[in-house]
Amino acid sequence: MYSRAYKTLVSAPPLIWVALFLLLPYGLMFAHSFWTVQDGVLVHDWNLSNYQKLLTNSLYAEVLFRTMRIAASVMLCSLLLGYPLAYYLSFHSGARKELLYQLVIVPLWVSYLVRGYAWKTILGSEGILNGFLQYFHFTHEPVSFLLYSPFAVVLMLTHIYTPFVFLPIYASLEHIPRPLVEASEDLGASPASTFFRVILPLSMPGLLAGATFAFVLSLGDFLAPLLVGGSSGTMIANIVQTLFGATYDWPLGAAISVSILLITLTLLFLTERLEKRWSFE
């Protein structure tokens, strides 16, 4: 029912905009990863030397491995916190459901930076947690390993991504028709087997979406390490940031970025396949 002119009019501007301001920049990033820098000048000779460097220099592999470990920990922790919360809200919270739901949403709107900063004030050696421990005489010396460690990064990112993980899980739990649960119980399944045989499989798409989200966003984070990570908490995106800043080796930075992008897209692709397998509609 829409004329050709209408369709052209609505599709041309966003197509042009996206091509110019998204496709072209991402393309530039890709192109840079094949160039090199000599004496502080960008040289446009196409080669794979940056990727070679990534594969041969063990520093990058080490940091990338640590980054994956941190991202996986964040994913696991947010699932462990987010799933039971979503399950409780969806199935057992009764009349307070809507209120509790909104309570989960509110922190989503609170600045990432502000929340990270709050953790810094809590975990520091002069921080609130140490003050608390000493006030109640749990310790007499400040505990210094809390801040500036991979642990602090995982804690902060888990805090930030738990509500993000909660949302898709809650949505998929809410979509489960309640008669299915009753049918399972009617057929003699205990609450536990109802959960593992009916509810968990049917909430898989939400669980996968939340898990991917937490993993992917943690993978590319460079602010949490700067805020609370210290040198032992450095992640791959921090290296990119240094290469673009102080070191001024954009091509190598671009090559790492492209690697992060490829890992991310692969994961998203796999999740999409898995989600399709787990959706029964």
Partner 1 sequence: MSRSTSTRRAPILAIYATVVFAFIYLPIVVLILYSFNRDGVGGFPPSHLTLDWYRQLFTDGPIWDSVLNSLLVASGAVALSLTVGLLAALALDRASFPGKALFRRLVLLPLILPGIITGLSLLMFVVLSGAQLSLFTVFLGHGTALISVATTELFAGLQKSDRAQEEASLDLGATPWQTFWRITLPNLRLALVAAGLLIFTLSMDEIAVTFFLIGRDNTLPLEIWGRLRRGITPEINAVSTLVFAVSVVLIIVWYRIRMRSVGTEAQQLPERP
Q: Which of 84, 197, 248, 279 binds partner 1 (CB under 8 A)?
A: 84
The residue among 161, 166, 151, 158 whose CA lies nearest residue 233 is 151
How far is the C-alpha of 177 from the C-alpha of 167, rounded, in Å? 18
Q: Which of 37, 51, 127, 232 binds partner 1 (CB under 8 A)?
A: 127
Q: Could you say whether residue 120 binds partner 1 (CB under 8 A)?
A: yes
User: Which amino acid is present at 174?
Assistant: E
The residue among 36, 25, 26 whose CA lies nearest residue 248 is 36
- Which helix or strand (DSSP H or E) is residue 37 part of? strand 36-38
Crossing angle of the two packed helices 58-92 and 204-219, in degrees rounded to 10? 140
Least distance to partner 1, CB of residue 134, Å: 8
- Which helix or strand (DSSP H or E) is residue 186 part of? helix 178-186
Task: Considering the complex, state which of residue 54 and residue 85 has its C-beta at the smaller distance from partner 1.
Answer: 85
Q: Which of the stretches 54-62, 118-126, 144-152, 273-281 binds partner 1 when contact is defined by CB under 8 A?
A: 118-126
Q: Could you say whether residue 161 binds partner 1 (CB under 8 A)?
A: no
Q: Which of 76, 223, 230, 275 binds partner 1 (CB under 8 A)?
A: 223
Q: Could you say whether residue 196 binds partner 1 (CB under 8 A)?
A: no
Q: Could you say whether residue 118 binds partner 1 (CB under 8 A)?
A: yes
Q: Which of 54, 124, 151, 168 binds partner 1 (CB under 8 A)?
A: 124
Q: Could you say whether residue 85 binds partner 1 (CB under 8 A)?
A: yes
Measured in whole angstroms, the distance separating CA 111 from the mean position of its chain's CA atoms is: 16
